[in-house]
Structure 1
Amino acid sequence: MNRSQLFEQIKKKKSYLCVGLDTDLQKIPKHLLSSADPIFEFNKQIIDATHEYTVAYKPNIAFYEALGPKGWESLQRTLEYIPKDIFTIADAKRGDIGNTSSLYARAFFEQMNFDSITVAPYMGEDSVKPFLEFKNKWVILLAHTSNPGASDFQLLESNGRKLYEEVIRKSQEWSTPDQLMYVVGATQADKMQSIRALAPDHFFLVPGIGAQGGDLEMVSKYGMNKQCGLLVNSARAIIYASSETDFNKRAGEEAKKVQQEMEEQLLAASL
């Protein structure tokens, strides 16, 4: 999916919601455990209930890897079930020496046909560039994350510039806003304005809304650009809104609430 197609979906659905498919066998409703593929069945019903309100789905690959071959099968079935006009994100946080990154890229872009993948920038340009060699596929580079340990390294300063700022600055030499996004945590909303100034035209993937307490209004106010430029992720608050047989209905209701808030923010921004 290219940039214009993504923006068209945002305008069509009046939403920049990304639903995180962090599907955990220990958290899904018990009545699903008797099905042949509980992970896929849960995801299928979540997708059915939320697809009209979301422009992206983001499976966190760890939840599937942990289940071995069956987990990968569930993930592939989930990908094939997601409507083709919805952006897909492999939240895999890969990044290794060039030839290994090239194989990771082939796995997620060619074999599984994800639209994008999250990538760790620590090993530098040659570890990221192989992911950028695929047409209409995206790299979502970790910049300023929402976890408590983010300050251990991301806020370190050198020559008056924080490490995450240097990641954003340097990586823009590797690709364009048509192929490169950044992960910017919603709990860093106070820094969103300055981060947007560093990357005015790029999309940001923003985790931390919902269960992590991120402020959607602040993120939207300071993070939007002329093409919205935001994919705001919510996982637990939507997919685990209920542990009963009505889980899918409740997930749809929660997704709709977020979409309605986003519609207001888009209207305020004249988008």
Structure 2
Amino acid sequence: MNIQQLTASIYQKRSFLCVGLDTDPAKLPAGLQDNPKDIIAFNKAMIDATLESAVAYKINTAFYEAMGAQGWEIIEQTLAHIPPTHFSIADAKRGDIGNTAAQYARTFFETYQFDAVTVAPYMGRDSIQPFLDYQDKTTIVLGLTSNKGAADFEQLELSSGKKLYEQVLTTVASWGSPDQLMFVVGATQAAALKNIRQLIPGHFLLVPGVGAQGGSVEEVAAAGWTTNCGLLVNVSRGVIYASNGEDYITAAKAAAQGYQRQMQAAFEKLQG
């Protein structure tokens, strides 16, 4: 699925919900054990429960890489369960030079065939270009993140008067079209979203941090909306850990439906 198809799905569903499959074995609900079989079953159940409300799924590879070879098998089986009607993201945050970046791109776009992958831009263009060479895929670049450490580097002021993240956004945006590039902007950075939208008016923003981290769908939509919606809001814990009891599947479905209703309200308010 490409960004144009994602946009069509967003308009059809009146939803811009991405469900994060950041499955922590220590947080599995009652009745499930810390083993690959149960983790796969949990991930599949979360996908099935949220299909109607979500337009995308994001697999945070760190939660699976920590399990070794079994973790990569879980990634593969989870990805295979995501239907082609939904946008799939490998949240891998890769960032390295030339030949190494090319192998990372091959991993996530060929071997595992994700629609998109997250990357870090701070090693420059040659660390991003191998991903952009896959023109039918989407490269999602870290822009302004929601962690406290974002202040350490991303928000430093340059001699030009710009902040470092602003320079990153405008520079990287010039390397590819809005059909190829998306940017990560944390929901807890809502105050900066309006400025970011002015800097990159045509690009989609992947916005984590809604729900457990305190971000608001309404605030994000008001600040980051653009003519084609331009937003993909990720919720992880607020959906997949909506309950740790036997009702975890119905709780996840209800949570996703709740976020979809919030998004539909924003959609109708801002898009008409």
Q: TM-score range by the shorter chain?
A: over 0.9
**1:163-242 equivalences in 2 (<5 Å):** 163-242=164-243
Q: How many angstroms does 1:36 deviate by?
A: 5.9
The secondary structure found in structure 2 opposite 1:121 is: coil
Q: Which amino acid aligns with 1:208?
A: G
1:58 corresponding residue in structure 2: 58
1:126 corresponding residue in structure 2: 126
1:42 corresponding residue in structure 2: 42
Which 10-residue stretch deviates more, 23-32 or 80-89? 23-32
1:168 and 1:199 in contact (8 A); partners too: yes
Q: How many angstroms does 1:135 deviate by?
A: 2.7
1:101 and 1:128 in contact (8 A); partners too: yes
The secondary structure found in structure 1 opposite 2:118 is: strand
The secondary structure found in structure 2 opposite 1:26 is: helix
TM-score calculated relative to the size of structure 1 = 0.98
Q: Give distance in 1, aligned partners of 2:271 and 2:209.
A: 25
Q: How many angstroms does 1:34 deviate by?
A: 7.6
Q: How many angstroms does 1:17 deviate by?
A: 0.3
1:80 corresponding residue in structure 2: 80
Q: Does 1:264 align with 2:265?
A: yes
Q: How many angstroms does 1:12 deviate by?
A: 1.2
2:242 and 2:255 in contact (8 A); partners too: yes
- Unaligned 5+ segments in structure 1 are none
Q: Which amino acid aligns with 1:32?
A: L
Q: Give distance in 1, aligned partners of 2:271 and 2:157.
A: 37
Q: Which amino acid aligns with 1:190?
A: A
Q: Give distance in 1, aligned partners of 2:64 and 2:202.
A: 33
Q: Which amino acid aligns with 1:98?
A: G
Q: Which runs of 4+ in 1 moved over 3 A?
A: none
1:160 corresponding residue in structure 2: 161
2:98 and 2:127 in contact (8 A); partners too: yes
TM-score calculated relative to the size of structure 2 = 0.98
Q: Give distance in 1, aligned partners of 2:235 and 2:213.
A: 9
The secondary structure found in structure 2 opposite 1:157 is: coil
Q: CA RMSD in A?
A: 1.1
Percent identity for Structure 1 against Structure 2: 53
Q: Give distance in 2, aligned partners of 1:214 and 1:137.
A: 28
The secondary structure found in structure 1 opposite 2:141 is: strand
The secondary structure found in structure 2 opposite 1:58 is: strand
- Unaligned 5+ segments in structure 2 are none
**1:115-154 equivalences in 2 (<5 Å):** 115-154=115-154
Aligned pair count reads 271
Deviations 1:91-120 (A, max 9, x none): 000010110000000000000000000000
Deviations 1:67-98 (A, max 9, x none): 11111101100000011110011000001011
1:251 corresponding residue in structure 2: 252
Which 10-residue stretch deviates more, 131-140 or 117-126? 131-140
1:206 and 1:233 in contact (8 A); partners too: yes
1:192 and 1:222 in contact (8 A); partners too: yes
Q: Which amino acid aligns with 1:28?
A: L
1:17 corresponding residue in structure 2: 17
Deviations 1:103-161 (A, max 9, x none): 00000000000000000001000000000111320111001000011100011111101
Q: Which amino acid aligns with 1:62?
A: A
1:35 and 1:41 in contact (8 A); partners too: no
Q: Give distance in 2, aligned partners of 1:257 and 1:90.
A: 25
Q: How many angstroms does 1:33 deviate by?
A: 1.3
Relative to structure 1, is the Cα distance of residues 22 and 184 closer, same or farther in structure 2, using a 3 angstrom cutoff?
A: same
